[in-house]
Each structure stands twice: as C-alpha cells, then as structure tokens.
Structure 1
Amino acid sequence: MESKDYLKDLSEIKDLMNKSSRFISLSGLSGILAGVYAIIGATIAYWLVTTSQRGYLILDGKIFRICVFILLMVALFSIVTAIILTTRKAKKNGVKIWDATSKRLVVNFLIPLVVGGLYILIILGQEKYGQTGGLMLIFYGLALVNASKYSIGDIRYLGYIEIVLGLLGALYPGYGFWIWVLGFGVMHIVYGTWMHFKYDRH
C-alpha cells in the first residue's frame, strides 16, 4: 500500500513539475482555424492573381500589395484566435495565461520568426522572391521547434514537417504556392485536429 502511495506521489510531483516548466494550454482548435484562414486567404490570393490582366504576380503591382494584406490578415486572425482560445482553455484548467513559462515560450517562438521575417523582407527588396514561400515555412518550423521546449513537446513534430516542406518549396519554387498551402493550411488543420482530440477533449 505504501509503495502505491509513493508511486502516486512521484507521479503528482512529476505532473506539477511538467506544468510549471511547460505551457500546456495551447488550443488544438486554434490550429485548425489557423489552417482554415490560410486556405481561405490563399484561395482569394490565387483568384486575384489568375484573374488579373497579367495572370501572374509582380512585386510593384496592386495585386501584390493586396496579397501581402491578405497574408497579414491571415496572421492577425490566427494570432487573435490562438490568444482567445488558449486563454479560455487556461481559465478552464485554472492555469495562468501569462507567467514565466509562457513568456519564455513567446520569446523563443518569436526569435526565429522575427529574424526570418526580416530576412524575407531583405531578399524581397533585392527582388529575389522565388524562395519566399519556402523560407516562411522554414523559419516558422524553426520557431515551433525552438518554442516546443516550453510547451507541449508534440508541436516540434509540426515544426519538423514545416521545415521539410520549406526545403521542398526552396528546391521546387514553381510549386512554392501549393507547398505553402499544404504547410500553413492543410498541416495546421491535420495537426490541430490531432492535438484537439489528444489534449483538449480530456
């Protein structure tokens, strides 16, 4: 009997240490919706480009500016949705949304993301935009892997997938758009669904 109690105590201590060192309130549903937003945004952008007079995208054109705006809106909606759903989940679980662990999570996520964003802006300024989609996926994947130390460790697998897709996008830039849709759209939906049923429903 004492042995069982001892093992139970060890399990509870391990669980408390895990909760204190990792932010575990990330919502799987937010990942699903982020994927949906990405697919909707990509569909609109694709329609705009293919129905324009030129039929392709140029950097100094009106269509390009609209596509950048769509991309920013997809990112904004994804971030706002993640904050709302994660906050709701944290309150439901009685966990603080903003503590030392979540701060470390955000910092470690943003470092590769901000560096990647600046690098993409630099190469766009040099008119080297064929690798843009692949680079977005690569730096986003690195951000996920880097942040996984302070969250549900499973998100690193999504990071690995995004990195591989990014490398494929760089290798085959002609398919960059569709690989971007696969990475940010389809994979978010698939992974978010898996996370939802694995964590959120318990």
Structure 2
Amino acid sequence: MKKFLIVGLGNIGAQYAETRHNIGFKILDYFAEKEGFSFTTDKLGDLASYKLKGRTFIFLKPSTYMNLSGKAVRYWMEKENIPVENILVITDDINLPFGSIRVKTKGSDGGHNGLKDIQAQLNSTQYSRYRFGVGADFAKGRQVDYVLGEWTPEENEKLPERFQKSIELIKSFGLAGINNTMNGFNNK
C-alpha cells in the first residue's frame, strides 16, 4: 500500500488558529471535517490517517511551531517509512495573490522559515510543496503582523471553496501523481 505524508504547516495555540500563517492546519482540519476523520495528538504533532483507493494518507500538523517543522516531518517520514517524493507540505505564500494555488516538486524555501527547517532536516529540496496564496497586503516591515493576522471577512467567505479545491488537490497528489496535480491545479 502506497503511503503519503501530507504536512500542513502552522502554529499551535488558539491565538494562531485563524491566522494566514496557519493555512496548512486549516486545510487539513477542513479535509478531516468533510471526510469524517479526526486528529490525535502524538509525538511532535497531531496525526490522522485517511485511506483512499489503496493509498494511505498520513496527515501531520506539527506541534513544534512553524520554524521547527522539519523535526516532525523527518520523524514521521522515517517512522512511517515514507519516501521523500511522497511528501506534500502545505504552506502560506505572500508572493501569491489570495487563494491562488502553486504546486511544485522542489524549490527554495522562498524565505519561509517552516520550509527552511524542513529542507535542513531532510537535507533536500526535493519534496513537493503546495503554496497557498495569502497575498501581500501589508506595509513595508509589517510582514510578520500580516501573516500572523486573521483573514478579512471577504477572504473568510472565499476560503471554503479554496479548501474544497485543496481536498481535491491532496487526493490528486496521492492518486494521480505530482505532475498531473501540477497540471490540474496550478493557477486554477
């Protein structure tokens, strides 16, 4: 049975729950709610398992805080014996307009501290990432306030449709592969 590790990046704690930086957690929570499974707290994060058409998806919400996400990713990748090409990391991206989707097979951390730590822990940039656009509607020097800020009412209205698209994207990653997923979802 093929296994996939789907990692949603975010920060633990109620004060971060509705922030842009927590989009990875939100997408996985939405998936769990729609498909009727739940997370349990385990070593270095909250975990859930989901089976679909002969594949197992291990969902991970690291509890290490964003900047140390790599430790949890490496631990669960090794424990579950999941190859690096079967990892998908979901993160926010201020370089993309709100709600836009960019899936890549590899790349730089783009200044994102969560990705930077994953890259260091895995000693590789060869893992797939799903960047969710959060826009860049902030004044110079206010980036941290922006990503740790909450969604606007307009954004909140549009999020469920984007979350539904994200569920389809994650399923596609496991069933159709990364290249088909990039073709089917990038810039959609």
Tell which has more relative contact order, 1 or 2 (C-alpha 8 A, sep 6+).
1
When normalised by structure 1's length, the TM-score is 0.28
More helix as a share of residues: 1
When normalised by structure 2's length, the TM-score is 0.29
Larger radius of gyration: 1
